[in-house]
Amino acid sequence: MKQVLHFLSELKKNNTKEWFDENRNWYQESRSKVLLLTEQIIHEVAKFDPEIGNQNPKDCVFRIFRDVRFGADKTPYKTNMGSFIAPGGRKSTSAGYYLHIEPGGSFVGGGSYCPPADALKAIRTEIFDHADEFSSLILSNSFRKTYPEMYDDKLKTAPKGFPKDFSGIDLLKYKSFAFTSEVDDSVVASEVYVDKIVAALKELYPVNRFLNTALEKWL
């Protein structure tokens, strides 16, 4: 992945269509490496999460082209590469596994990030019904060692339809149930990268199983 990090570093300095067109072969080579990495991760994750099955890496890897229609940032390309591994690939609403490669900002993780309203309600309902089980998963020593915190985007008050005096109400305030673990560039560029990713994702599996049970039960 050293070549991928180098490409992304140069793209960040030269985020223009002209530079990208001149270096399109370099991009294609880098994308091919990310596709191969994603294929390896799919194969390994399927060993402990059979729901993953035989996903096509091309369905999991995100496009590098940015949608510049609505944001203030008009640079045409993302300066990272990533994959979301779940049934249905990157467009899936299931909880899954995420791989993010970015110089100085790489991480691995997953869960359910910004789910649509009906999916979010389903997850909150399952946590409401099984709060102790969910808490035991995300607060276990081994899980916290890899994923110290949940993605911190939440409501200021209790979500509609849930009692404010519920003991686990803080959990229900979250808008995402997603977790990340930082990965240093030296690891990304090393031979142990795949092993590190797989170990981190294996820790996430019980949480994803809980989240997907909620989605399957209520949607």
pLDDT digits 0-9 by tens, 64-88 = 999 878 777 889 999 999 999 999 9
**Could you report how far apart the first and last alpha carbons of the chain are, in Å?**
39
Reported confidence tier of residue 21, pLDDT bands at 50, 70, 90: very high
Listed by start position, the domains of the chain span: 2-218
Residue pointed to by tokens 């820790």: 203
The predicted structure's pLDDT at residue 152: 85
Tell me the average pLDDT across 121-144: 96
The predicted structure's pLDDT at residue 73: 81
The predicted structure's pLDDT at residue 70: 77
| Distance in angstroms (rounded) separating the CA atoms of residues 170 and 139 | 14
Tell me the average pLDDT across 143-160: 93
Quote the percentage of the chain above a pLDDT of 70.
100
Tell me the average pLDDT across 12-18: 97
What angle (nearest 5°) sits at the alpha carbon of residue 120, between those of residues 110 and 167?
95
| Distance in angstroms (rounded) separating the CA atoms of residues 202 and 89 | 18
The predicted structure's pLDDT at residue 72: 78
The predicted structure's pLDDT at residue 209: 97
Q: Which distant-in-sequence residues (6+ apart) come within 8 Å of 172 by Cβ?
A: 124, 127, 128, 158, 159, 162, 166
Q: Does residue 218 register a pLDDT over 80?
A: no
Tokens matching residue 15: 């985020």
pLDDT digits over 93-109, tens only? 999 999 999 999 999 99
Tell me the average pLDDT across 158-179: 95
Q: What is the 3-state secondary structure (H, E, C) of 109-173?
A: EEEECCCCHHHHHHHHHHHHHCHHHHHHHHCCHHHHHHCCCECCCECCCCCCCCCCCCCCHHHHC
CATH number of 2-218: 3.30.930
* b (16+ CB within 10 A) / e for 49-80: bebbeebebebbbbebeeeeeeeeeeeebbbb
The predicted structure's pLDDT at residue 67: 85
Q: Answer yes or no: are the C-beta atoms of 185 and 104 closer than 8 Å.
A: yes
